[in-house]
Amino acid sequence: MEEKLPKSSEIQKSKRRGIGERLLAGWQTMVTARAMSDLFEHHAKLTSKYVHACANGHEAIQIAVGQLLGPQDYAFPYYRDDAMLLALGMRPEELMLQLFAKGDDPFSGGRTYYSHPSLKREGLPRIPHNSSATGMQAIPAAGVAMGLQYREQQGLGQEVEGKFAPVVICSIGDAAMTEGEVSEALHMAALRQLPIVFLVQDNGWDISAKADEIHFGNAMTTAKGFPGIEAIDIEGHDLEACIEGMDLAMHTARNERRPVLVRASVPLLGHHTSGVRREWYRDDLAEHTEQDPLPHLKKRLLALGIAEKELERVKIEAT
């Protein structure tokens, strides 16, 4: 069921409540994520020893999701979700410990590569271990959502108490939507009406192949084959639009206990990974740069009356 974002009184009230605070918090997370990416690129001779992919261009939608996740929830990030991890409460140094395969890495003791987290920490959402193969997180994510549904049906209560009913976030790149495992997960989510949000981050690329070279349509097209899943399309470079869209998606999954698919169209500003460099094949960098969420957010914050000096102070602290 494809649906445009409603202008209901509930959503409008939610948008007015604290939007400035959420955008300002998003600015802090976004400049931190960008500073980390810039640092990795500056020291590319060092960090290229370990495969890493950064959120450049994807930060807005990831931050909107991270701000909404609580300890009762389960998250299945994909390899570009470092801004989401920062937004939900991870520290930059913790992500860097994984990057350099250090024993103090909180996810796996240095045994998995960058932005492949697994976490069981009080106060934060559960992050089960994921395979590094693209799309493989979809079936386990649907399985966890089925487990949540089973606990509710059996009156077993929440495994982890929180302010809201638990949901599952399954984050995935658009190209991985062609994987068979993803179709299986979507099918079961639609059939059983599971409390899960599939977040599809669409930057128009599948490694070095353009999207139209590897699949027909996009995630919204795919969603039409699963009429039991509500589908929402978001301009993923606009943090305010991302907050509005994710508020709706999470509210639907939490309160109506049914699946939602969110497609966020985002620019890819960095490399695919540290080993697949953008200068080798990209011919659309100027176009993608026009959709950079960082200056877009800065302009919006200035319009809300936040002093540029304050924004620059936060940015300097992040670097």
CA dihedral of 110, 113, 114, 120, whole degrees rounded to 10: -60
User: What's the whole-number mean pLDDT along residues 77-89?
Assistant: 95
Q: Once rounded to an integer, what is the mean pLDDT over residues 5-24?
A: 62
Q: Is residue 1 part of a domain?
A: no
**Does residue 16 fall inside a structural domain?**
yes
11 confidence band (pLDDT: 50, 70, 90) = very low
Residue 264 within a domain: yes
Lowest mean pLDDT among 132-146, 198-212, 217-231: 198-212
- Whether 293 and 238 have beta carbons less than 8 Å apart is answered as yes
Q: What is the mean pLDDT of residues 197-202?
A: 97
Per-residue confidence (pLDDT) for residue 78, from 0 to 100? 92
3 falls within a domain: no
**Looking at the predicted structure, is the pLDDT value of residue 6 above 60?**
no
Residue range of the domain that includes 116: 9-318
Percent of the chain whose pLDDT exceeds 70: 92
pLDDT in tens, 240-261: 999 999 999 999 999 999 999 9
Residue 128 banded pLDDT, cuts 50, 70, 90: very high
List own/partner pairs for 224-228 with CB under 8 A and 24 or more apart: 224/2, 225/186, 226/186, 226/187, 226/189, 226/190, 226/261, 227/1, 227/190, 228/1, 228/189, 228/190, 228/191, 228/193, 228/258, 228/259
**207 within a domain of the structure (yes/no):** yes
State the pLDDT at residue 46.
54
Task: Quote the number of domains for the chain.
Answer: 1
Mind listing the pLDDT tens digit for each residue in 86-118? 999 999 999 989 888 899 999 999 888 777 899
Q: Is pLDDT at 5 greater than 70 in this prediction?
A: no
Instruction: Note the pLDDT of residue 227.
Output: 93
Q: Which one has a higher pLDDT value, 262 or 273?
A: 262
Is the pLDDT at 291 greater than 60? The verdict is: yes
Residue 225 host element (H or E): none
Look at residue 110 and tell me if it is in a domain: yes
Strand 196-202 and strand 230-235: the pairing is: unpaired
pLDDT at 181 over 70: yes
Task: Tell me the pLDDT of the chain averaged across its residues.
Answer: 89
Lowest mean pLDDT among 32-36, 37-41, 154-158, 299-303: 37-41
3-state secondary structure of 145: helix
Q: Hey, which of 58-62, 99-103, 132-136, 314-318 has the most confident mean pLDDT?
A: 58-62
Segment 281-309 shows an average pLDDT of 91
Q: Is residue 4 part of a domain?
A: no
Residue 232 lies in a domain: yes
Lowest pLDDT segment from 55-64, 215-224, 291-300: 215-224
pTM of the model: 0.90
Neighbour tally for 110: CB within 10 Å: 16
CATH number at residue 226: 3.40.50.970
